[in-house]
Amino acid sequence: WGGWASAARYSPGAEGYGQPWADMHFMRLATHLGLESEVKEAWLGQLMHVSHHILIKPAHDGMRQEWAFPLFAYPDSAVLAWPAVEREVALPGSDVIVKYFVPSEEVRDIRGLFVICVNLGHWRARPFKWRSPRWQMGR
């Protein structure tokens, strides 16, 4: 029987726990968008990570056209991205309008949280600077 050392099992750890679901959504989206031949480029998703402080928006016709905060890129698979909402505020005492993004509170289906990147030309990106609630409230 060989004991525990020879057990044929997969133990992904906390970060990799969602890998099978990310893979499932990756293939579903790749098939839906006709991108099966580009699956070998799935490593590009690693560029979409929360640590890079970018907002992403699809430029591919078959994808939802809204900005999102990429949170976690599963290795060679889908990217978990939270939808962003653009807001505007007028600066007091001026005509200057400042636009900013916040995480959406209207997420209804986890399937919409996965995106895929197999071609950088399918995406637009813009940098952002995260501000803490304390900073936003006037320090």
Q: What is the pLDDT of residue 137?
A: 67
Burial of 78 (0-12, 13-18, 19+ CB in 10 A): buried
Q: What is the pLDDT of residue 85?
A: 92
Q: What is the pLDDT of residue 99?
A: 83
| Per-residue pLDDT tens digits for 68-94 | 999 999 999 999 999 999 988 887 888
Q: Are 121 and 36 in contact (CB under 8 A)?
A: no
Q: What is the pLDDT of residue 67?
A: 92
Residues of the chain with pLDDT below 50 are 1-7
Q: What is the pLDDT of residue 1?
A: 39
Q: What is the pLDDT of residue 132?
A: 78
